[in-house]
A and B are shown apart, each in its own frame.
Chain A
């Protein structure tokens, strides 16, 4: 996944969030009144030092803050109440609604106009960013659809073709051929299933609705669970682990970190020759922990170490290895949700290494039992 677009979508999501706050009924008005109240309190103290006209500046600040965040209604409310409070409490004669000096009428009018103008511009900007977010989601949806139709068509064709051969021409097929067709159907169905769950994971993670269920995990348990989960895919490789003896526990969402490690292991199994070694290692580096998956394959073509994490990017799209092109972008999304990072590199001798870096926090105290 591209980092900058991730951050952009994050900012946009926050924008949308504030728009939602702005459109919800009473709260903005209450906030507007609170801000005016605070300005009044500040002015009450400042009035001993500042000229009356300058107190209007404090109200102006409050109005601007309200106007940037909310729609016109709360902004006008803030402006009007500011003018009234200013007039009643600070404009001589105080504690009357009369303007002793007519100049303060202009001050009040300006406050009102500024409130309206700024809220109008701010609302327009929010609408524009909402539109930008919609456009971005639209693009993602389109590329998802394109990917689904393209990548699912191949396994579907193989399944349908094998099934129709078995149905219509069973008598002409040898026992071995029948067996091969059945194997094809099973394998392709597995690929489709994996692809669909990748797509679901990705949309779920990007939708921003995932709340991390952070718990303390021993690192060896996370690694062990991931290896166990893809045991059948790893059956033709030699899997080794190399763990520092004194590793700290990590406070992570175990299900998601397992998913990340499973994706890395499945990738290693898919793209490296049968019989080669896959090593899962973990080591502490100061206040961080590096968990890496090393393989003995042909490595990553130079120059695309960063691109492999992009959505739908595949190093060899026409190759025979099936995949959604989402596995590594899911890994990156999960790493970033944890405030960590994931990087790919080639090892000095041979093969690729993917390193997940997470921060080690102070572990919880354990009472002896």
Chain B
């Protein structure tokens, strides 16, 4: 990536929400481009090569989930969904269509910026073809080459499934990972609808990594959607 400021394409039909996003993004060191319709969104996503796309799910001309799928078909640009709906199933549908994360309206700008930073970081790493060798956050350190997990410099033994879950979460650190994705990665497609397996193993992982598993700081639950490993 060049030293140029990152370009964020905002796909949103509500003018006041666009203005708010423009002010927020530009005052936080990002360039702003906008699309009002799904058609415009697709052409700009291809021609302007944004570093991240923010998509409002409630577009007038097409379902936001379809727009995400089409953007995904043409590029690997990270997509963040902006949604007024609190329906978990719609968030999951958007994530399954290829979105990387979501922010629910009304949102605090701090939350949106944090999500954007994560998406930009992932996007840049992807472009450079980087794979992480070591993941480190607070007291947790995971050496992905040596398959070694340490907590406050003390080795922690994980079962193979727990380790696979952790590496899937690390690959998308800071972003939500859906139940379906975690189940497929850790067990394969056969158990894709067996959410209780996932919950039991996540509980085991928390007991090993969290000081109080009922108040986790690393492995956060997004009920009805999936899990999020913090990365800052």
Contact = CB atoms under 8 A, between A and B. Distances in A.
Do A and B come together as binding partners?
Answer: yes
Contact of B195 (A215, A220, A225, A258): A215
Interface string B171-206: 000000000000000010000000111011011001
A193 B224 CA distance: 21
Given A189-B106, A369-B161, A216 B195 contact: yes
A241 interface: yes
Contacts of B161: 369
Contact of B203 (A197, A220, A255): A220
Contacts of A228: 215-216, 220-221
B223 A193 contact: no
Nearest to B105: A193
Contacts of B213: 220, 224
**Interface range for B:** 20 to 34
Contacts of A223: 214
A280 B215 CA distance: 11
Contacts, number: 63
B99 to A, nearest CB: 19
Nearest to A363: B196
Interface residues of A, number: 28
A221 B203 contact: yes
B86 interface: yes
A221 B199 contact: yes
Contacts of B214: 220, 223-224, 227, 241, 243, 280
A227 B212 CA distance: 12
B139 interface: no
Interface in A191-240: 193, 197, 213, 215-218, 220-225, 227-228, 239
Given A189-B106, A218-B199, A366-B197, A239 B215 contact: yes
B196 A254 contact: no
Nearest to B191: A369
Given A218-B199, A220-B203, A364-B196, A255 B223 contact: yes
Interface string B204-231: 0010000011111000111110000000
Given A218-B203, A228-B220, A258-B223, A241 B215 contact: yes
A254 B212 CA distance: 20
Nearest to A227: B215
B58 to A, nearest CB: 16
Given A220-B203, A224-B214, A227-B215, A197 B86 contact: yes
A249 interface: yes
B46 to A, nearest CB: 36
B215 A224 contact: yes
A366 B194 CA distance: 10
A225 B176 CA distance: 14
A366 B86 CA distance: 32
A243 B203 CA distance: 14
B215 A193 contact: no
A213 B92 CA distance: 14
Contact of A241 (B196, B206, B212, B222): B212
A217 B86 contact: no
A215 B216 CA distance: 21
B143 interface: no
Interface in B85-109: 86, 88, 106
Nearest to A190: B106
Contacts of B200: 218, 249, 366
Nearest to B213: A220
A168 to B, nearest CB: 21
Interface in B148-174: 161
Interface string B112-143: 00000000000000000000000000000000
A255 B222 CA distance: 9
A221 B212 contact: no
Given A228-B220, A366-B197, 12 more contacts: A215-B199, A217-B199, A218-B203, A224-B221, A227-B215, A228-B216, A241-B212, A241-B215, A254-B223, A254-B224, A366-B200, A369-B197
22 contacts: A190-B106, A215-B195, A216-B196, A220-B203, A220-B206, A221-B221, A222-B223, A223-B214, A224-B206, A224-B215, A224-B221, A225-B220, A225-B221, A225-B222, A241-B215, A249-B200, A254-B223, A254-B224, A255-B223, A364-B196, A366-B200, A369-B187
